[in-house]
Structure 1
Amino acid sequence: MNYRLPDKPILPDPLIGNRGEQIVSPKQWREQRRSEIVELFRQHVYGRCPIGRPRSQSFEVADQSGGWMNGTAVRKKINIRFDGPGGTGVIHLYLFVPITEGKKVPAFLLICNREQENMDPDRKVQSPFWPAEDIVSRGYAAAVFHVQDADPDFDDGFRNGVHGIWEAAEAPRPADAWGTIGAWAWGASRVMDYFEADPDIDEARVAVVGHSRGGKTALWCGAQDERFALVVSNDSGCTGAAITRGKQGETVQDINQRFPHWFCENYKGFNGREHDLPVDQHMLLALIAPRLLYVASATEDIWADPASEFLACMHANPVYKLLGFLGFEAEGSPLPEVPIHEGRIGYHLRTGKHDLTRYDWNCFMDFADRHM
């Protein structure tokens, strides 16, 4: 693969408002431009959720036991329940908390989009996709939930999962109604609701992590929910961390045809028309500012396009600078296994294929050790 950065595409400027005005102060960003960009993504890409935190939401500690991980951790199984017009939903959260002297601990939350065995709470299977032992050994709580608890990953006309709970079956869906990625992001925010209630978790230091479609979810979740201190995208590619205009590999048309349930109906109108989008993915990354952001790529993951993911980090940097922070500074193309951790946007390019590995996790935690 050629790691030369593509010719700089003409991108929408996150620091030019909807009326063409230049955004020149942090106040303008916070009070105007940020909300404009969120609204553009809701309208054209991810859709809008009909509900935030449900009034009916409750937390049940279904199991809590010590002695895990050679006596270094407590395991909790949490049921996050909510009721709506269409029924009841439950997000099953698995959580390993390192034992400390009464101190709250930071946490890494994985949005798991792979088989359930990758998040085995009994630790008979210790998958590198969620290396809970490694995370706990570094002083972080290891948390995970599966995307299917929020919305199963297939197209049934939005009748299953949280869509069926909150949307009337007989009502027509608006063209900007939330898709499955939006439902998964909503689920991650409900886990954050729980963290705020758990006396063992430092809710001000929580990272949300996702791989591939989970990485798209983590970014959209973190863009909307500013309670997350660190947002981590691993190999998220198209409609994740990668610039859409001029992207190699998967395109908007590809993703909408293969996964018609992931995004709002309006997004299909941009199939083959990426340059007409009023946003691009550097603007999604910019919504994380000034909080911590991490983007990871893999050398053989051409479908996701590492060069376009790296480019998005570069173009999100002006917003961090406007807010008074070092975001992302790099010279030339990234080198494999040379992480960039100096600013509040972290990045690394791992040698290998589309995957989430222990190397990736260690880089995320190195970055968190330094900044979070």
Structure 2
Amino acid sequence: MKFSNRMKQLQTSIFNRLNEEKANLLAQGQEIYDFTIGSPNIAPSKEIQNALIEAAKDPVCYMYSLHDTMEFRETIRDWYAKRYDVALDPVNEILSLQGSQEGLAHIALAVCDPGDIVMIPSPCYPIFANGPRIAGAQIYEMPMLKEYDYLIQFDKIPEDIAKKAKMMIISYPNNPTGATAPDWFYEELIAFAKKYDIMVLHDTAYSNLVFDGEEGRSFLYYAGAKDIGIEFNSFSKTYGMAGARIGICVGNKDIVEQLRILKSNIDYGMFLPIQKAAIAALTQDQSCVVETRMQYQKRRDMLVKGLHEAGWDVDAPKATMFMWAQIPQSYEDSEVFAYDLLKKTGMLITPGTEFGELGRKFVRIALVQSEEIIEKALISVKESGFFK
């Protein structure tokens, strides 16, 4: 059998390889503390669960949902107006996604031809690169460096690349670095994109998980953003609905329409009970969002303090459910470090190389375990003397 050349660009996830090692150690009786995949362990509220259950009892809901319901679209419109101070047309500027990852996988197919240049951050969430690659686009990596607080430096992008680029993917608060972007950054981004006629996709899945009293904003809040771009948002982390696979695309009506046409040729729309659950999520008392954010902040603080005490100086992220930690100088490669840490302490983390070459000296720690598990992991790390 012969398979497509595009498959040669896709590799087995590091998560699969780490899980094999995890299984081996579990079989030997070692306790494992898994901080790899960012799958929330904070459950949706009862309001969300009940809305899904009640809708699932209606036989009509099992028919194809060819279009997003107007109730769903208007709820998104009202939420964006209240939460982000952004006005959206519910008919032309809002589209559901089967999770943000589905949208990120398909967006380049809707806007790019083979050979077009897509600019992505580096390090980045893998689908930022893999989606355009599947579409046959060329990738240009925009470095996010610690010395610049992980903010992309637009003045360092070669002009010949900027002139040829078709689309740019940006994401703040950022996975994996946990960085946020100030107002002036978005103003520079919009000016740069307009100067070179580049479409912008902003992924804002973590805008409701910003710590220490700061508040995350929408890219579309800034003047001129809707002229050149769209934004993906997600229910996965904010409302604990990762398995429900629900995200949204909002913004520039022409880009939204092209993605809508593409998706209409791929699937039959979002399961109606999930639309009902999403509506419940946005119209319920939003104190659950505050509680979720504070829980992640508490986990962050526990890990930062405990790892410092164990001898590993890690930075506290400003946002998201992840920590981006620089590995000790004695290690040159984050995969080697991650395997050693797992074997000696039982703490399972993700090598930064999963997010690109600029992650070679970093690892990502997902804040997905309870305080009890975090405490056990920290005791194991301290008692192992790994960082001494």
Structure in which a larger fraction of residues adopt helix: 2
Structure richer in strand, relative to its length: 1
TM over 0.5: no
TM-score in terms of structure 2 length: 0.25
Q: Which one has a bigger Cα radius of gyration?
A: 2
TM, length-normalised to structure 1: 0.26
